Amino acid sequence: MRVGFDYGTSNCAMSFINQGKAELIPLYGDDAFVPSTLYAMERGFIAEQIAQQLQDPVERQIYAQARSGVLAQSRAGKLEHDITQVSDGLFYGADAIAHYIAAPGEGYFIKSPKSFLGASGLRPQMVGFFEDLVATMMLNVKQRAEHYLQRDASQVVIGRPVNFQGINAQESNQQAQAILSAAAKRIGFREIEFLFEPLAAGFDFETRLNENKKVLVVDVGGGTTDCSMVLMGPAHRGYLQREQDFLGHTGERIGGNDFDILLAQKALMPSFGMLSPLKTGLPMPLMPFVNAMAINDIGAQTDFYDAKTGFLLEKLQRETLEPELLKRFATMREDKHNFAVVREAELGKIALSSANTCRFPLDFIETDLAPETSAQHYADIVNVLLQKIANLINEATIQAGSKPDIVYITGGSAKSPLIRKLVRELLGEKIEIVDGDHFGSVAAGLGVWAERVFA
């Protein structure tokens, strides 16, 4: 069975071709999307889940030897939690978020691991952990899809951004793609291909074009923004080799997560003492607050939870003129609620797409705590990110040597009216803008390509 797999920063989805058309596979009831989150009652449960899936005895033995320490932890964890199957201690998507919010300090929670795959300086054991983590999340989607299809999925096209990271892009891309490939093989995919996500989104759109067009695909996802200028239409879509049709490619690690994080930093952290004056007259150190919200940065999270940050916060509580706000911040850190704060920022961002103001309920930290911001303040906050997206659009058009006939906007974060406004400012009020299925275009296009490339 051939499938397209969008292992996204924000959501995961899978598609197949049904009677000549790409169709997303329902994963949870009628919902074709599962948030890219995982909650494990014990970290070792992740490794054991993968070990149980390995069919080759030699491969299973090699894997067990390499993961002997965490597998031993898993055995102890099952006794502690009184469960017999590690699957009972693993939760995905909305269930993972619910378990994390209910008990943030008890289990192991990760959101958007795709953001980390291209990080520089990953040690071999960390690479192995990410392979297991991605494989576990992929396995959940694959098993649910196979249950719906009543067939095994063995051939897959996986989407990838143009660049996973902005720094050392080539090395970063190789590392991230290798992790995705190893994970996919580990859960039983026998043939694996990759396709740029903006091109996948474009291929889905191309199936509906009746004439040839020069299309600028703007894909603003959860972790990256990619722009591709592509020749599309009836004269192009029948070919497997499309390199000559790709006129320009740009991409950078700017996505919906960055909008959430920046909004949380600028609009919510002042309620936690970020701008509070110190008795010395010196400004409040910003880094603890920045690191707290930077949930997609391994180094930032390591620093935030390091003991030296705890000592610094104790010192700042004595020196600030608003100790109650710093105490609130320290409580958030102690209870590991920073992910939940960013989650509220994400929900507020969505609300500000259609509302003039929004309150952010943070009752889980303190009763009646609900900072408020306006749509205009949000636009001002994220302007620096919008300018980076503008640079990507401009660079793609420069590479192509001309402006597009159509702009095709996709990606969950592209639903923001700020993105559409930006495109019109750059390319003119008369440019035709087409909205794709913001969450499903990439997955559908990957399914289209899987049917072609594995035919």
Residue 91 has a pLDDT of 97
Residue 322 class from Cβ within 10 Å (0-12 exposed, 13-18 middle, 19+ buried)?
middle
CATH class of 2-197: alpha beta
User: How far, in Å, CA of 444 to CA of 25, rounded?
Assistant: 10
Q: How many CB atoms lie within 10 A of CB 149?
A: 15
The radius of gyration of the chain's CA atoms, rounded to the nearest angstrom, is 23
Our measurement of the distance from residue 282's CA atom to the centroid of its chain's CA atoms, rounded to an integer in Å, reads 37
Phi, psi of 215 (to 5 degrees): -110, 130
Residue 166 has a pLDDT of 65
User: How far, in Å, CA of 251 to CA of 201, rounded?
Assistant: 14
Examine domains 2-197 and 212-254+385-437 and report if their fold is the same. Answer: yes
Our measurement of the distance from residue 404's CA atom to the centroid of its chain's CA atoms, rounded to an integer in Å, reads 28
Residue 36 has a pLDDT of 95
Residue 241 has a pLDDT of 79
- Name the fold adopted by 212-254+385-437: Nucleotidyltransferase; domain 5 (3.30.420)
User: How far, in Å, CA of 10 to CA of 288, rounded?
Assistant: 25
Convert the pLDDT of each residue in 117-135 to its tens digit.
998 888 999 999 999 999 9
Cβ burial 347-380 (10 Å sphere, 16+ → b, else e)? ebbbebeeeeebebebebbeeeeebebebebbee
DSSP state of 54: -
Q: How many CB atoms lie within 10 A of CB 144?
A: 17
**11-18 and 225-232 beta bridge pairing:** unpaired
**Run means of pLDDT, 10 residues per run, the chain, 455 residues:** 95 95 95 96 95 91 93 94 94 93 86 89 90 97 97 96 81 94 96 91 84 94 90 87 86 92 98 96 96 90 94 96 97 94 96 95 96 97 97 96 94 87 95 86 93 91
Strand partners, 230: 215, 246
User: How far, in Å, CA of 161 to CA of 163, rounded?
Assistant: 5
User: How far, in Å, CA of 399 to CA of 36, rounded?
Assistant: 33
* Domain boundaries along the sequence of the chain: 2-197, 212-254+385-437, 257-383
Residue 208 class from Cβ within 10 Å (0-12 exposed, 13-18 middle, 19+ buried)?
exposed
DSSP state of 57: H
